[in-house]
Amino acid sequence: MTKEYSRPIIHSPDTKGALEAIEDLRYEMHNPYNDGFTGSIMKRRLVQIKESVEKALTDAPVYSDDK
């Protein structure tokens, strides 16, 4: 279980929005009413997000609660 930060953060990126966007892309990628072209665009966007996350974590510091 991760602890939530209890004090206000001056600038906090919109994690909830990012997770919702990922879920929306996943849903549309599998939506049977979309054609393969649309699904492939959704998949490409998910891959772009994945690559960006991997790049951001490449030199991320290690914290005491990391596993």
Residue 19 maps to a domain = yes
Q: What is the pTM of this model?
A: 0.75
Under the banding of pLDDT at 50, 70 and 90, the label for residue 12 is: confident
Residue 30 maps to a domain = yes
pLDDT digits (tens, 9 = 90+) for 18-67: 999 999 999 999 999 999 999 999 999 999 999 999 999 999 999 888 87
Residue 8 maps to a domain = no
Residue 5 maps to a domain = no
d(CA 62, CA 27): 33
d(CA 22, CA 16): 10
Question: Domain span at residue 51?
Answer: 15-57
Residue 51 maps to a domain = yes
The number of folded domains in the chain is 1
- Give the DSSP H or E segment for 55: helix 36-57
d(CA 24, CA 22): 5
Burial group, residue 60, by CB count within 10 angstroms (0-12, 13-18, 19+)? exposed
